[in-house]
Structure 1
Amino acid sequence: MAQKNPPYLQKRRRGWYAVLEIPKPLRRKFGDKARFVQSLKTDSLSEAERIKWSLIGEWKAQIEEARTGKQARRMEPFELAEKLTKGQEYDDPFTREVRQGEISDTAWELHEKDPKQADAFIKLVDGESVLTSKYIDDWLASAKNEQKTIDMKRSDVRRLAEKFEYTHEIDQRAIKRWVHDLQHGEQGLAANTLSRIMSACRGYWNYLNDAGLILRNDEPFKDVVRKPSKRSKSSYEDERLPFKETDLKALIEAADKKGDVMLRDLIVIAMWTGCRIEEIGMLRLPDISHESLDVTGAKSKAGNRQIPIHMQLQPVISRLSKESSDGFLLSGLGPNKYGNRSNAIGKRFGRLKKALGYDSRYVFHSIRKTVATELENLGVPENVAADILGHDKPTMTYGTYSGGASFAVKRDAIERLRFPKIVALGIA
């Protein structure tokens, strides 16, 4: 009885040939050929088994293209692994043997094209690796964060997945090289940004381990970002700076000249209250009385506070309250996808200050620095200024036990603010 040829192979004389039958309905598209045949130029069966796969893969792709009219897409290692391991927990001994044969054949075929892909395929099949991007959404669904934070984490971990397609490619040495490239390459990311990215990656890595999706005892993201041991001269030069009164006057006049009354009012409210831009954008009419603004919904306990309305600000607050058509003090600001109403007007401020020649050290938050600087120079106690600005007080007495400065004390402090050059503009 003649010995049966191995799959896709025929022995002719002393050499081996690769062979693949062409389906009958498709043979006309191949010049009525019944099969593909090509010499492998070897008489070694093991060598023939190894090198046949590149031809078989190419021929199968041609057949698929003839069948569908579309160029066949090669399956990625993770797709092949999923296909060939699906349902393996239910295999009987015979099925298990057939499956292992298919896995072995696929590994050889991949190895002929790209040994790295073959290695990834084997590790995926053996459960030693997963597609890095596969479980990002599952991880984020379990996170208890605001949407903006979730989106940032998704962006950070997708960076990881773009760099390392599979988790077996990740180790501390590779991560350190990646961090070095991010910091010193074209992107030039700052140490704080890199720390945030690595923190997100570490959280995702822990999730994969805790869920049993990978089994790794190492910590590839630990201590991979080297922070400067001391502040450099450039870091001091890049520090945010407060505006002077003349700067605020120039900004207000420029907004007026552009006809951007809302931006002008935003600047004026900030300079008399020290509020953050998003706090002003979220102020509703019920939060406002004839003598105070109530800031609510802050991220910290200290951020929720009652701010006395400076006598110079009262006409502006009164006018805006009467003009409001949507229940907000600054009416008509459209929220972005995170519900932030100040995003667009904040960009308008950025363009305005840039046009006046202010660099990156000057931002809207600089107005808070202006207020803090003025309060300090007026001799207002730090704990009172902290209660006005919504800062935490780190001391035991004021931070833990005190109920905070009284409204009268805060009002007296606020009323000490003086911006005579701006008051002279007569804004109401």
Structure 2
Amino acid sequence: MSRHLILKGSTWHVRLDVPKDVRGHPNFMMKKVLTKSLKTGNHQAAVDASREVLIEWKKRINEARDKKGLSSWKIHAEAKKQNLDANLYIAKTAEEFQKIKYDQLLEAAKIINEYGLKNHEREEALQFMVNNTRPKTTISPQLINEFERYQAKNFVGEKTASMQASHIREIIKYIDINNIGLTHDSVEKYLDSLDIKSITKRNRLFSGNSFWDFLEYKDKSIKNEPNPFHNHNLQRAKKGKGKDQKNSYIPFTQAEIEKIYKAAMDKGDTVLADTIKIAALTGCRIAEICKLTTSNIQKNNIVIENAKTNSGNRHIPIHPNIKELVDSLIKKSTDGFLISSSSGNKYGNRSDSISKRFGRLKTTLGFESGKVFHSIRKTTATLLQRAGVPPLTIAAIMGHKVNHITFDIYSAGPSFQQKDLAIKKLQFKFN
């Protein structure tokens, strides 16, 4: 213990060399040595006082080492990114905007150092914080395997531990496929996509909460983040044909949408082809497209009205690649609607016959059941995100609620120029 003590004047200080492998961690800020005055000139009192200080320092060193390479950095980054994006959205001056962009780089550097990220993960952290490019995998398979071993060793039997790990793999797969973060909303969407009883969903949440406890054990900073598996109000799953499947839809690739469009054109079904093209280049739902009247086309905007929610009412800039099509549909319209429909179903749904034709066509092309017309909307959102469009601009185009009081109540939303620039990033090849 005495080897950690040094006498400066008449006062004893405690010191400890910081190992090279953790100096970049925010706990140490590149310091080579930690020192602290013990505020005593008595050697024995200094020895006694130094014990607690050294224990705390060594604990911080061990914590820094334990975090190296943990994939939980992605959860930590998600929370930081949401806060920065919110600030970016309300920036009023070029100086404020540049300051936030600098903060994005700074947070990326902090995460890289805090978690000791190397090679491709360093690039992933930087791209996510600065360019909105989400990492390919939210949680590494290795960490889930470690969770399984941890549970079997400390809390439950091997069979239960295996089941819990399987639940986590399923949740993470859903999140990665849909290109979303591990948040309360994403867990809720995952649960809504399951046609199972509420008690079975609770088992999923129990596994999720156990996993979150494990993450907090491995990464103490996770305790500062909200647990995405807490406070879910579970409803009984609907049965039969009317069950809610909206969150189980799988996005198409851009090439797949282009393939279906071409097949519709080859069949001579121009109405279906037009609907596909408009959906891909606006992000609109099929029902929204089929409800459009000629009066909903105002200057350079498609105006969505009478949506189910206030956020669903929106103005979407007309993509240059559908401007000619929209003008042609307006001229050809005989009933005031943009899209021609033979008739609605018994509930007055004008999109019903078009949706069914789409379903039959995509089935003959060999696409799986999870890929439906609504999947086009998911593809559009995904392509916008991957093109680096700010999340709040994407939400305004798609008609999604942001769930932030500043934006949902007080903000007028992104400008036409911001949305127009975003829409033009969509580059489908409809030939």
Q: Note whether the superposition's TM-score is higher than 0.5.
A: no
| Length-normalised TM-score, structure 2 | 0.44
| Length-normalised TM-score, structure 1 | 0.44
Q: Greater RCO between the two (CA within 8 Å, min separation 6)?
A: 2
